[in-house]
């Protein structure tokens, strides 16, 4: 005992004496026992890249977020003391090697240590973007850490930034270790076992076991504990031995565990980690259990749901959502399933979770599997089902084989096995599968485990056969017949209905025929056994069959504008027939598609043979038929060898083609043709198809597509507008449509032969011997509608008896007998041409022609613009007469006349002719027409009217006019038909009339013609540019009136006519008036000035009204002296004349013509009369203003003065008392009035003008 104690003390002393001392500078070539995964790091001696000037440096490239490690060998001498480690490092861009990487692109460098190269690894230090030294030379870093007991490994673990592509360099690693701690850590922590809720671990004690045992710490985060970590009952276990049980744990959860020694309450070792582990699943106890993989979000090789386990043989089981294709079975319940691939020579297992099963109970385990097809390219899988008490094939029981290498599936197939455990416990099931190189994938889906039912569903259910309305199914006889028989469910979808359609099938039955089905329809059938009133089986697996077609009858016409009546034999072919609108000539059609009808396209790499067919009954005695269809198919051919094409067959209805197998020649089969190399629609037509061998039988028309899987060109086959019919030459029953008969056309109709006959038509006038057309009968093609028609193209004679005949034609030369029908065309409805002659002031002669045969006529007339038409009296003359004298008209009136006809015996008139318009002769008494004004000015009007040259004409006229409201006329005798009225007032309304002067007697005056004189409007005038040359000041110095000065900046045009401060006052007839215009000119520029005053206020600046014309010159001022005409317009309150001042560069301005450079300004000029000596006695009664607009002032009267106002005709207009010396005359119309004033101071009579 003393020797043993001494040995332990010696060993412990030796341990305490050991410590790490390690140096590595990679002077020697190679990695010097360091390792790297995937050859990331290697040694380099390239100058400018190594740390230092000689030797080697370790370098590795990482990029785009990838990681890499560089791991040391075991560093000897570890005593668990504090290790001090220093190293040199740098990071450069990969593309250059000598350019320092930026901090942002660094990523991280973790310095880690562990007691095993397999981990777990603890991080002692991390270089990141915040502490990295950006340089192309090496920097030195020093880190410290306390390793766990046992071996010691360190590594550099680098991860590049997502945008980085870097070289990472390491060199000059040194490690030293301090004295061993007083409390040593345990080592070799091992997971003994785990369940769903606990785990057992063990470890090796240090050389001197701790006096107070051990702390076990665990979590699910992976964050290592420190000396300051608080331990409690939910995260730690304390034990005095080298084993511990950790509980309770969460099932299917990853845990991390650390252990430390407790030498005393104040002396504890460092934490020693162990590899992480995952707790197991809780066994499934609730049944039934199902799994369809559809909840999985992460898919891939080796990825299976939680609690499942896959064991890789040659290849791993793979979770997938790949859809069905030529190389993939797809999912049974979308979107996910699990599959194993080809060449899996060593079997792989797919293990389910564990299930708690009871001894003696029978359980049913099932799943669906699918090879993707039954052809040779999908054969080669071998598979069986295992059961075991763990997810391992060791010691497993084989429950049965579900597939052999010679078997394939056309769709997902369910496999069921039954298992009765002898002991209660936890059990797992597995699918164990292998394969050779031939197939693609084996898919599995929709797993289920349940307690085996006591009533088993019928097995071996198959579809035996079908007719157009029935289907027969059968099933295997069960060991025990169900006491209550069977129920049958069926549907046109893969979903069974909620209730059975067939009940009461006896338990002794093993087959049944379902009635009342639709033809050409795929049905799915399920059978359920009823073992007792309360015990029934599941539904059997579905079986399907298509009912046959009800044969079509001739004629058979299928344009696919309605439902499709073709059956498809597609099987599992990738390229298959479809009906839809992806292509058509036009609309829908039949076509080959590789995506269920979405597109008219085929997969050229997969062999396919598929058929579309229609059964047609051929009547007895049928020999020759017309057969046609539209088609297109590009496909593939090479010379005379064809690979991808469409074939058309006629076969007996007893022969049903098989998908994947081409139809071959045999007795009773006719190949109509083979078609390809046409990518656009073509038409096939055979008008001489011999159907003798099919007479009085059902014939099957088949369109077959074949492609060889090794090339080809889109599109594949498409078929449209199929027609099969037998032609008949029976004489048609023709009808002449009475409502269609016109004077030159008619429409005939007859029943169209449904066999597609065409027709010949001939016709002629009754009584003639030559049939028309003389070139031969008219050919009319057959139509697809029940009736055929022909309309003569307006080439018949009016009012003529015709006979017409029609005959049916088959195959161009086989002409049947002609029919015969009579009809008569109508008279020509074309309105005649109407002429009017011999027009007088009261009559006109009407003539119409040509006259249509078989017609009678009607005439009507009226004055243009009146609503009522008048008939000819006593009646319209009838053929051969064609004239009518229209009397009782008025002079110089415009009339219109029309004529129409109707066919004899008809009650309906034909359209009227176009109106013939005429005007009766004008006599002198008629007022002259055309009175109008050709030119209207403010003070004048030029008048014109139509001259009278008829009987009694003198070429003399009376024109009279007046201001509206005045009683008297101004009368003018005029010797021609135009006159200019002068002396008018501006903005005043006038009326005028004119009359012919007949022989000695005036005629009637025209109705009043009203017009209003306009105001004065001056022409526009302006410059374009005014920046350098413009009018700067205008000065007007009128004689005896105030001068006006206007200083302005430049503008193109300025209007000062409405600015009272710029008004210019002048006196009529005054002399010595002066105008001065100051100019602003650019250096050296010349300008001309012109000034006008519209003295007569006629709206134009006449040449004799120009008062200044100067230049062009460089003078800055232009001036002139002028005289105001003695007849210049005297201004009133709002009617004045205008002065225009214009200055133009390099020219004297011309009135009304704008120019480029300069300025135009307009001003108002008020002209007044010379003051006259007042001859009035200022004490007399006076009125003013005169003329007056609204208020007439009365002066020198008392407050009781009275007044009376008379019109020019002497009529009293108004009377009353003068209030406030004012009388309101605003309501009087314009004109001259007389006012009588009666006052105590005397009486007075005055005349005034109301404006």
pLDDT in tens, 743-766: 999 999 999 998 889 999 999 999
Residue 3 clears pLDDT 50, i.e. is over it:
no
Torsion of CA 576, 580, 583, 589, to 10 degrees: 90
Mean pLDDT of the 924-928 span: 91
Going from the C-alpha of 279 to that of each of 193, 220, 255, 259, 294, the distances in angstroms are: 10, 11, 8, 19, 24
Residue 312 clears pLDDT 60, i.e. is over it:
yes
Q: Tell me the per-residue pLDDT of 69-113, one tens digit each, with 9 for 90 and over.
A: 999 999 999 998 889 999 999 999 988 778 999 999 999 999 999
Residue 12 clears pLDDT 70, i.e. is over it:
no
> Is 2 exposed, middle or buried (CB count within 10 Å of its CB: 0-12, 13-18, 19+)?
exposed
User: What is the share, in percent, of the chain residues with pLDDT greater than 70?
Assistant: 98
Query: Using DSSP, how many helices (H) and how many strands (E) does the chain show?
Result: 1, 90
Residue 8 clears pLDDT 50, i.e. is over it:
no
Residue 10 clears pLDDT 60, i.e. is over it:
no
pLDDT of residue 15: 44
Write the CB contacts of 85 (distance below 8 Å, at least 6 apart in sequence). Answer: 111, 124, 142, 143, 144, 145, 154, 173, 174, 175
The token duo for 407 is 């078997």
Whether 451 and 289 have beta carbons less than 8 Å apart is answered as no
Nearest-CA neighbor of 173 among 68, 48, 22?
A: 22
Q: Tell me the per-residue pLDDT of 116-174, one tens digit each, with 9 for 90 and over.
A: 998 889 998 999 999 999 998 999 999 999 898 889 999 999 999 999 999 999 999 99
Q: Tell me the per-residue pLDDT of 873-912, one tens digit each, with 9 for 90 and over.
A: 999 999 999 999 999 999 999 999 999 999 998 889 999 9
* pTM metric for this prediction: 0.45
The token duo for 1060 is 């009272």
Instruction: Annotate 425-449 with DSSP letters as a single string.
Output: EEEEEEEEEEE-SS--EEEEEEEEE
Q: Tell me the per-residue pLDDT of 538-553, one tens digit each, with 9 for 90 and over.
A: 999 889 888 888 999 9
Indicate the pLDDT class of residue 1003, thresholds 50, 70 and 90.
Answer: confident
Radius of gyration, CA atoms only, the chain = 61
Instruction: Annotate 1001-1039 with DSSP letters as a single string.
Output: SB-PPPPPEEEEPPPP-PPP--EEE-SSSEEEEEEEE-T
Mean pLDDT of the 1161-1187 span: 80
Whether 69 and 36 have beta carbons less than 8 Å apart is answered as yes
The token duo for 740 is 């269609």
Tokens 């992976």, located at residue:
222
pLDDT of residue 234: 94
Higher per-residue pLDDT: 1133 or 228: 228
Q: Tell me the per-residue pLDDT of 759-792, one tens digit each, with 9 for 90 and over.
A: 999 999 999 999 999 999 999 999 989 999 999 9
Higher per-residue pLDDT: 489 or 196: 489
Write the CB contacts of 462 (distance below 8 Å, at least 6 apart in sequence). Answer: 473, 474, 475, 543
> Is 1083 exposed, middle or buried (CB count within 10 Å of its CB: 0-12, 13-18, 19+)?
exposed
Q: Across the strands, what pairs with 627?
A: 686, 724
Higher per-residue pLDDT: 716 or 1227: 716
Q: Walk me through the domains of the chain, giving residue ranges and CATH numbers.
A: 17-177 (2.60.120.200), 187-278 (2.60.40.10), 289-451 (2.60.120.200), 462-546 (2.60.40.10), 552-725 (2.60.120.200), 735-824 (2.60.40.10), 833-919 (2.60.40.10), 932-1012 (2.60.40.10), 1023-1168 (2.60.40.2950), 1182-1250 (2.60.40.3080)
Write the CB contacts of 826 (distance below 8 Å, at least 6 apart in sequence). Answer: 741, 742, 743, 798, 799, 854, 903, 906
Query: Which H, E and C letters describe 848-866, residue by residue?
Result: EECCCCCEEEEEEEEECCC
Mean pLDDT of the 1164-1176 span: 75
Q: Across the strands, what pairs with 451?
A: 363
pLDDT of residue 57: 92
User: Which SS3 state, helix, strand or coil, does residue 879 take?
Assistant: coil
HSE-CB of 1120 using CA atoms within 13 angstroms: 14
Residue 270 clears pLDDT 60, i.e. is over it:
yes
Beta strands in 72-135 (DSSP E): 83-93, 108-114, 122-127
pLDDT of residue 1: 35
Q: H helices within 824-964, ranges in order?
A: none
Mean pLDDT of the 1240-1247 span: 84
Indicate the pLDDT class of residue 1177, thresholds 50, 70 and 90.
Answer: low
Indicate the pLDDT class of residue 264, thresholds 50, 70 and 90.
Answer: very high
Going from the C-alpha of 1135 to that of each of 204, 570, 1057, 1164, the distances in angstroms are: 129, 102, 11, 10
Task: Give the span between the Cα atoms of 397 and 374, in whole angstroms.
Answer: 29
* Cα-Cα end-to-end distance for the chain: 156
Task: Give the span between the Cα atoms of 373 and 438, in whole angstroms.
Answer: 12
Task: Give the span between the Cα atoms of 701 and 725, in whole angstroms.
Answer: 13
Task: Give the span between the Cα atoms of 20 and 13, in whole angstroms.
Answer: 16
User: Which SS3 state, helix, strand or coil, does residue 975 take?
Assistant: coil
Task: Give the span between the Cα atoms of 1216 and 1208, in whole angstroms.
Answer: 19
Residue 393: φ, ψ to 5°:
-80, -15
Task: Give the span between the Cα atoms of 1170 and 1168, in whole angstroms.
Answer: 7
Task: Give the span between the Cα atoms of 72 and 59, in whole angstroms.
Answer: 15
Tokens 């010159």, located at residue:
1113
User: Which SS3 state, helix, strand or coil, does residue 3 take?
Assistant: helix
Q: Tell me the per-residue pLDDT of 361-414, one tens digit each, with 9 for 90 and over.
A: 999 999 999 999 888 889 999 999 999 999 999 999 999 999 999 999 988 999
Instruction: Annotate 193-237 with DSSP letters as a single string.
Output: EE-SS-EEEEEEPPSS--TT-EEEEEESS-PPP-TTPPP-TTTEE
Nearest-CA neighbor of 704 among 677, 672, 682, 678?
A: 672
Whether 1214 and 1224 have beta carbons less than 8 Å apart is answered as no
Length of the chain measured in residues = 1251
pLDDT of residue 1199: 84
Task: Give the span between the Cα atoms of 961 and 969, in whole angstroms.
Answer: 6
Q: Across the strands, what pairs with 932?
A: 944
Q: What is the largest CA-CA distance in the chain?
A: 182
Task: Give the span between the Cα atoms of 536 and 528, in whole angstroms.
Answer: 7
Task: Give the span between the Cα atoms of 1230 and 1215, in whole angstroms.
Answer: 18
Query: What's CA 927's distance to the chain center, in Å?
Result: 72
Triad 40, 45, 46: Cα angle to 5°? 95
Whether 670 and 714 have beta carbons less than 8 Å apart is answered as no
| Type and span of the H or E element at 16 | helix 2-17
Indicate the pLDDT class of residue 5, thresholds 50, 70 and 90.
Answer: very low
Task: Give the span between the Cα atoms of 281 and 264, in whole angstroms.
Answer: 39
Residue 1174 clears pLDDT 60, i.e. is over it:
no
Residue 4 clears pLDDT 60, i.e. is over it:
no
Q: Tell me the per-residue pLDDT of 421-458, one tens digit each, with 9 for 90 and over.
A: 999 999 999 999 999 999 999 999 999 999 999 898 99
């Amino acid at each position: 005992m003393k020797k043993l104690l001494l040995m332990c003390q010696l060993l412990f002393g030796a341990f305490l004496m050991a410590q790490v001392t390690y140096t590595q500078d990679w002077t020697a070539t190679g990695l010097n026992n360091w390792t790297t995964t995937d050859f990331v790091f290697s040694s380099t001696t390239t100058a400018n890249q190594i740390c230092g000037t000689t030797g080697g440096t370790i370098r590795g490239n990482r990029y785009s977020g990838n990681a890499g490690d560089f791991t040391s060998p075991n560093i000897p001498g570890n005593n668990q003391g504090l290790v001090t480690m220093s190293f040199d490092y740098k990071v450069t861009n990969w593309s250059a090697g000598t350019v320092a990487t930026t901090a942002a692109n660094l990523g991280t460098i973790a310095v880690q240590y562990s007691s095993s190269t397999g981990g777990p690894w603890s991080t002692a230090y991390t270089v990141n973007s915040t502490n990295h030294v950006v340089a192309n030379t090496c920097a030195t870093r020093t880190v410290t850490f306390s390793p766990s007991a046992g071996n010691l490994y360190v590594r550099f673990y680098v991860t590049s930034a997502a945008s980085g592509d870097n070289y990472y360099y390491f060199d000059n690693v040194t490690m030293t270790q301090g004295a061993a701690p007083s409390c040593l850590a345990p080592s070799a922590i091992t997971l003994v076992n785990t369940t769903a809720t606990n785990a057992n671990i063990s470890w090796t004690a240090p050389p001197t076991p701790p006096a107070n045992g051990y702390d076990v710490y665990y979590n699910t985060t992976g964050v290592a504990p420190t000396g300051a970590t608080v331990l409690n009952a939910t995260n730690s276990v304390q034990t005095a031995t080298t084993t511990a049980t950790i509980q309770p744990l969460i099932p299917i959860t990853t845990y991390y565990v650390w252990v430390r020694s407790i030498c005393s309450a104040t002396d504890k070792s460092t934490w020693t980690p162990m590899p992480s582990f995952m707790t197991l699943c809780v066994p499934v106890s609730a049944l039934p259990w199902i799994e369809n993989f559809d909840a999985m979000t992460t898919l891939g090789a080796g990825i299976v749901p939680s609690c499942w386990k896959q064991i890789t043989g040659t290849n791993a089981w793979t979770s997938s959502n790949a859809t069905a294709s030529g190389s993939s079975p797809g999912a049974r319940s979308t979107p996910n399933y699990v599959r194993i691939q080809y060449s899996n020579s060593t079997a792989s297992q797919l293990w389910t979770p564990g299930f708690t099963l009871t001894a003696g109970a029978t359980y049913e385990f099932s799943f669906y599997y699918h090879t993707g097809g039954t052809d040779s390219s999908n054969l080669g899988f071998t598979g069986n089902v295992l059961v075991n008490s763990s997810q391992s094939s060791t010691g497993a029981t084989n429950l049965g084989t579900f597939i052999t290498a010679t078997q394939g599936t056309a769709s997902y197939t369910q496999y069921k096995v039954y298992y009765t455990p002898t002991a209660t416990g936890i059990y797992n099931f597995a699918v164990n599968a292998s394969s050779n190189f031939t197939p693609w994938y084996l898919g599995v889906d929709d797993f289920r485990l349940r307690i085996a039912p006591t009533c088993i569903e019928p097995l071996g259910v198959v579809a035996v056969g079908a007719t157009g309305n029935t289907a027969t199914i059968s099933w295997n006889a069960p060991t025990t017949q169900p006491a209550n028989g069977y129920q049958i469910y069926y549907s046109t979808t893969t979903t069974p209905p909620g209730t059975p359609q067939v009940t009461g099938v006896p338990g002794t039955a093993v087959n049944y025929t379902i009635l009342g089905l639709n033809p050409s329809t795929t049905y799915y059938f399920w059978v359920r056994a009823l073992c007792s009133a309360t015990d029934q089986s599941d539904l059997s697996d579905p079986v399907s069959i298509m009912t046959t077609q009800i044969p079509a009858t001739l004629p058979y016409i299928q344009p696919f504008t309605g439902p499709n009546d073709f059956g498809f034999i597609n099987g599992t072919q990738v390229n298959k027939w479809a009906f839809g609108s992806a292509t058509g000539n036009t609309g829908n059609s039949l076509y080959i598609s590789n995506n269920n009808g979405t597109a008219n396209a085929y997969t050229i790499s997969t062999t396919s043979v598929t058929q579309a067919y229609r059964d047609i009954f051929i009547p007895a005695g049928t020999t020759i038929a017309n057969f046609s269809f539209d088609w297109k198919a590009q496909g593939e051919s090479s010379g005379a060898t064809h690979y991808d094409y469409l074939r058309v067959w006629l076969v007996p209805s007893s022969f049903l083609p098989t998908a994947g197998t081409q139809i071959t020649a045999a007795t009773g089969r006719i190949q109509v043709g083979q078609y390809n190399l046409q990518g656009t629609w073509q038409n096939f037509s055979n008008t001489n198809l011999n159907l003798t061998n099919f007479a009085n039988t059902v014939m099957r028309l088949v369109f077959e597509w074949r492609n060889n899987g090794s090339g080809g060109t889109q599109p594949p086959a498409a078929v449209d507008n199929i027609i099969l019919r037998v032609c008949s030459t029976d004489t048609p029953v023709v009808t002449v449509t009475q409502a269609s008969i016109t004077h030159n056309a008619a429409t005939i109709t007859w029943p169209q032969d449904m066999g597609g006959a065409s027709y010949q038509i001939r016709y002629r006038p009754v009584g003639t011997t030559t049939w028309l057309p003389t070139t031969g009968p008219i050919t009319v093609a057959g139509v697809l509608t029940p009736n055929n028609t022909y309309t003569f193209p307006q080439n018949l004679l009016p009012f003529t008896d015709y006979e017409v005949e029609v005959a049916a034609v088959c195959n161009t030369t086989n002409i049947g007998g002609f029919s015969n029908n009579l009809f008569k065309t109508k008279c020509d409805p074309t309105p005649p041409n109407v002429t009017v002659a011999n027009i007088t002031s009261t009559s006109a002669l009407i003539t119409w022609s040509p006259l249509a045969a078989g017609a009678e006529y009607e005439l009507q007339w009226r004055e243009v613009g009146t609503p009522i038409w008048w008939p000819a009296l006593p009646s319209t003359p009838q053929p051969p007469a064609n004239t009518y004298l229209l009397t009782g008209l008025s002079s110089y009136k415009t009339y219109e006349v029309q004529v129409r006809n109707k066919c004899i015996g008809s009650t309906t008139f034909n359209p009227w002719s176009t109106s013939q318009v005429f005007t009766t002769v004008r006599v002198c008494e008629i007022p002259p027409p055309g009175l109008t004004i050709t030119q209207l000015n403010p003070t004048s009007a030029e008048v014109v009217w139509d001259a009278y040259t008829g009987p009694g004409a003198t070429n003399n006229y009376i024109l009279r006019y007046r201001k509206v409201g005045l009683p008297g006329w101004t009368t003018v005798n005029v010797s021609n038909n135009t006159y200019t009225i002068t002396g008018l007032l501006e903005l005043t309304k006038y009326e005028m009339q004119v009359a012919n002067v007949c022989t000695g007697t005036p005629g009637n005056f025209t109705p009043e013609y009203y017009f209003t004189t306009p105001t004065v409007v001056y022409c526009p005038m302006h410059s374009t540019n005014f920046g350098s040359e413009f009018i700067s000041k205008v000065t007007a110095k009128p004689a005896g009136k105030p001068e006006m000065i206007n200083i302005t900046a430049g503008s193109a045009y300025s209007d000062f006519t409405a600015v009272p401060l710029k008004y210019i006052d002048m006196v009529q007839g005054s002399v010595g008036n002066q105008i001065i215009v100051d100019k602003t000119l650019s250096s050296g520029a010349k300008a001309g000035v012109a000034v006008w005053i519209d003295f007569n206020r006629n709206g134009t600046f006449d040449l004799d009204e120009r008062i200044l014309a100067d230049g062009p010159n460089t003078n800055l001022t232009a001036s002139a002296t002028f005289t105001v005409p003695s007849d210049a317009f005297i201004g009133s309150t709002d009617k004045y004349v205008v002065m225009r001042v214009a200055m133009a560069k390099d020219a004297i301005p011309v009135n009304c013509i704008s120019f480029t450079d300069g300025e135009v300004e307009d001003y108002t000029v008020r002209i007044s009369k010379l003051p006259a000596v007042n001859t009035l006695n200022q004490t007399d009664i006076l009125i003013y203003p005169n003329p007056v607009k609204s208020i007439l002032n009365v002066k020198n009267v008392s407050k009781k003065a009275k007044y009376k106002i008379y019109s020019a005709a002497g009529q009293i207009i108004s009377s009353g008392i003068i209030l406030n010396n004012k009388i309101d005359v605003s309501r009087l119309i314009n004109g001259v009035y007389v006012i009588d004033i009666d006052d105590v101071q005397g009486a007075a009579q005055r005349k005034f003008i109301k404006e």
